[in-house]
Structure 1
């Protein structure tokens, strides 16, 4: 874990899908990493809007 609390996470992704991610992130003026974080945050927000807040026991939730 880094000093700022972030963790690395490796994924396996199809080459064409990765290229498309880079196209979208460049269009949005972001890195691919930043674009993925935005997509994950959007998915979590949508899930929580439908199912309620996800409570993490023993973890600080932001």
Structure 2
């Protein structure tokens, strides 16, 4: 079974630069920051509306 999936993401230059700055500030790679933000969004959703399947 595959453990990781690849997700291609297209973002504009300005958003990329801001994400890069945020990741550096938080001590994460850009990929690590994106994963962190996605997990935070999922946790917030589940807290408000219940578990996702």
Per the normalisation by structure 2, the TM-score is 0.92
The Cα RMSD (Å) is 1.3
Deviations 1:10-50 (CA, angstroms, capped at 9, x unpaired): 01101000000000101111100000000000000000001
Is 1:30 the counterpart of 2:44 in the alignment?
Answer: no
Query: Which runs of structure 1 show a deviation greater than 6 angstroms over 4 or more consecutive aligned residues?
Result: none
Whose helix fraction is larger, Structure 1's or Structure 2's? 2
Q: Which structure 1 segments of 5+ residues have no match?
A: 56-62
Q: Which structure 2 segments of 5+ residues have no match?
A: none
Larger Rg, first or second structure (1 or 2): 1
Paired residues, what number?
53
